[in-house]
Amino acid sequence: MAQFNRRTNEYVDRNNDLFEVVLLGDEHGGIATNRYAMDAWGRPKSIIDHAIFSATWTFGVPNRVWEQTDVDSTAFPVITSTYGPIDNVYVRSRENMLSVMSGTSSGIGHICKSKTFPRYQPNKGQLYSTAVTCPNPTLVGERSFGLGTSKNAISFVLEGDGENWELYARRIRSGTVETSEPLRQYLPDDFDPSKGHVYDIQFEWRGVGNVYFFVDLELIYTDDILGTLDYLSVQDPAMPVYFSSTCKEDGTEVELLAGCVDVASEGGGEPQTLFGSLSSGNDLLTLGAADTPTAVLAVKVPRTFDYNGEEIYNSRGAILDKLSAFCASADTITSAWISRDYSATTVDALTWSSLPDSHILTASGNSVAPLNTAFQTDFAAGKFTKVLGEFTAKDTKTEIVNTSKNSDFKLSPGDIVVITGTGIQSTGQLYAATLYYSEEL
C-alpha cells in the first residue's frame, strides 16, 4: 500500500528502504516526527510531560521537602556527610525566592537539596527546569544548580574570578568531572547572570544518551555522548534537586536566588512501585505505662548502603499505604511519628534488620526492647513529630489508610517512622501493628 511522502511530495511504498517521514521543526525545540515517533501501525505518539517533582519558596523553605548540607571543599560536589534542617540563615526564603548564601570563609558553602530523589522513568526523557538569578556574578565564588550528589551530577555552574564570570554545563560521574563546557561563548553578548533567566537540562538517558542544556529556552550546548561511552553517563539517574553557593575568597559572600523548580518525565506517568509490608512480629507485644506511647514498630530508609564494596547513595524511597493495629486487652491510641536520621540520633543508632529483597530497614519490640528505650530518649528530647493518632478499640482491628488523593505519605532516604501504642488508663496491654508500603523501583 502506498503512503504519501511529504518530503518528496509523492506516494511511496512504505516497505521501500528509501521511505522516511519528513522532519519538522529545528534543533531549538521544534516538533520532530520520524518513524520512531510513530507506533507500530504508523499512528503518531503523544508525549505529555508528567511532573515528578515541583517546588516554589514563596513563603519559606519547608523541611518536609528540603534539607541543608555544607560544602567542605573548593570543588563541588564534595560535601560533608552531615545533614540538617533548613537554618533560615544561609538557606532561606527571600523576596519570595529561594536564597542560598555561601558564607565568607573560603572553601565553605551551603547546599539546599531535596529530600527525595526524583526517579528517572526508563525509556522516557527527563527535563529539569528552573529560574535562577546570581547577584554580582563576578564575585569570587561558585553558584551551582541542577540534579546531583557528591558522586553524580548534571548541572549549571556559575564561577566568578573577581573580574569576570563564566557559566558551565557540567556532568559528574563517580565523583569525577567528565564534562565542563564553558557556555558564555554561546550566549548573547549582553547576557547578564544577575538578571533572572530560565535554565533547563534535558536528557535522553537510558544510561548512555545525550544531555541538552538550554538557557532562556534556547539550546546552548549538547553533551554529545551517545555511542561514545562503555559505562553509564551517571551511575544513578535518580538524583536530588540542589542549589548551592560556595565562597572562594575569604570575606566574599555569594548568593543564588531561585524562583521555582520542576522535574518532569517526558511521556511518563505515575511511578512504578513494589508492594511490601512489615510487622511487630507474630506475638502480641506488651505496652508500657498508661498515657505513655510505647514504640513497637519502626521503619527506616537509609541514606547509603554498600554496593559491590562501595558506599553509594540510596535513591529509593517508599510510600506508606496502610497501618493496621490490634489490641487484645484494652482501648489504646495508635500513633505514627516521623523524624530524620540527623535528629533522632538514638533511634538511628539502633541495630536495624533488613527486609528481604530490599534496602528498607525495620525494628520492633515491646516496652523493654531497645527500640522503645531509644524512642523514649529521642521522644523526650522532642525529636519526633506526630503524624497521626487513631483510637484502637479493645479486641478490634484498626486500619488507617491515607485518604488524600494528592499527598502520598512518602518516605525519603534519611526518614524514620515509629509506630506506637498508648494505653488509655491502662498498663501492660497486648498489642500488634503491621505497616504496608510501596517501595520505589
| Locus of grid cell 553509564 | 232
End-to-end CA distance of the chain: 43
Domain 273-440 falls in which CATH fold? Answer: Jelly Rolls (2.60.120)
Q: What is the pLDDT of residues 120-153, one digit of tens each?
A: 999 999 999 999 999 999 999 999 999 999 889 9
Domain 49-266: which CATH number of 3.10.129.10, 3.60.70.12, 2.60.120.200, 3.20.20.80 = 2.60.120.200
Residue (of 99, 131, 147, 128) closest to 245 by Cα position: 99
The answer to whether residue 28 scores a pLDDT higher than 50 is no
CB-count burial class (<10 Å; 0-12, 13-18, 19+) for 219? middle
Q: What is the pLDDT of residues 224-282, one digit of tens each?
A: 999 999 999 999 999 999 999 999 999 999 999 999 999 999 999 888 899 999 999 99
Work out the number of other CB atoms within 10 angstroms of the CB of residue 19: 15
| pTM of this structure | 0.88
Give residue 311's pLDDT. Answer: 87
Cα–chain center distance at 65: 9
Can you tell me the distance from the alpha carbon of 218 to that of 197, in angstroms, rounded to the nearest whole number?
Answer: 11
Domain extents for the chain?
1-46, 49-266, 273-440
Can you tell me the distance from the alpha carbon of 411 to that of 64, in angstroms, rounded to the nearest whole number?
Answer: 10
What percentage of the chain exceeds 90 in pLDDT?
78
Q: Give yes or no for a contact between 299 and 410, defined as CB atoms under 8 angstroms apart.
A: no
The reply to whether 49-266 and 273-440 are identical in fold is yes
329: pLDDT confidence band, cut at 50, 70 and 90? confident
Give residue 81's pLDDT. Answer: 61
